[in-house]
Structure formats: C-alpha cells, structure tokens
C-alpha cells in the first residue's frame, strides 16, 4: 500500500501534466477539470492540489534551479512528464522537509511508472546532482 504522500505526488504529477499540455492556462481551471473527471475525494487530492498549484506557480524558478544540472538539454527537449517530475522533486529538495534520498527515490518511482525506459536514470542523475549542489546530500 502506497503512503498518502506517494499517492499525492502521483496525482500532482497528473495535474501538472494536464496543466502543461493545455498550454499553462490558469491552474485552477485545469485542476477543476481534472478533479471533476476523477470525482476527487479523500485525503490524497487536496494534498496533490496543494503540491501541484505551488509547483505550477514556481515552474520557471524550479526549471532554473535544476537547469544547471541538465545543461546539455534544452528545457523543451525534456519530456513533459520528466520535466514535471523534476519540478516536483526540486521543490521538495529545496524545502528540505523530506529526506533527500526519499525525494529522489519517489521521483525515480514516478519516472518508472509514468515515463520512458531511460527516464529513471535521467531523473536520478539530475536530482542527485541538484541535491549535492543544494548541500542536501
């Protein structure tokens, strides 16, 4: 059984994906549509909504934060799923409330579940470098 926080990260990723593929309209507009579609109830969705809304608000800053660690890649060349996984994890690494090993492990799990075969190694490498640069590892 997955923890509430793990489920919330997955749902936040889904919200961020929907927001980005729709061209980044007002976040609440996208969230309302997704929440209606899923019939969102329980403890997971409010937490996911809080995560995703904060990350959407800070997307540009978070991209710049891990941008140094993907210097060989233009941001638009990174897949939408991978980019949002990196945003989620960069946000958590920066806040420092969750141990960095847990943040990275959760991000790699999301990449395994939602992204391509090479994504977990890519996500792990970028986040390891970011965590070290932030002094978290």
Domains of the chain: 4-133 (1.10.940.10)
CB within 8 A of 34, min separation 6: which ones? 14, 15, 18, 40
- pLDDT for residue 39 is more than 80: no
- pLDDT for residue 37 is more than 90: no
Lowest mean pLDDT among 16-20, 33-37, 68-72, 92-96: 68-72
pLDDT of residue 71: 66
Length of the chain equals 137
Cα of 62 vs its chain's centroid, Å: 10
For residue range 40-49, what is the model confidence (pLDDT) as tens digits? 677 888 999 9
CB within 8 A of 95, min separation 6: which ones? none
pLDDT of residue 110: 98
Give mean pLDDT, residues 78-91: 96
pLDDT of residue 102: 96
């Amino acid at each position: 059984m997955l923890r509430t926080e793990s489920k919330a990260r997955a749902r936040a990723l889904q919200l961020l994906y929907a927001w980005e593929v729709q061209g980044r309209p007002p976040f609440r507009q996208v969230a309302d549509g997704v929440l209606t579609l899923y019939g969102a109830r329980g403890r997971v969705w409010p937490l996911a909504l809080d995560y995703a809304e904060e990350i959407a608000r800070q997307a540009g800053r978070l991209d710049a934060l891990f941008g140094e660690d993907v210097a060989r890649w233009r941001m638009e060349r990174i897949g939408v799923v991978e980019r949002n996984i990196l945003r989620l994890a960069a946000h958590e690494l920066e806040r420092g409330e969750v141990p960095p090993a847990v943040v990275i492990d959760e991000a790699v799990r999301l990449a395994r579940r939602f992204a391509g075969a090479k994504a977990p190694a890519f996500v792990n490498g970028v986040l390891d470098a970011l965590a070290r640069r932030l002094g978290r590892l």
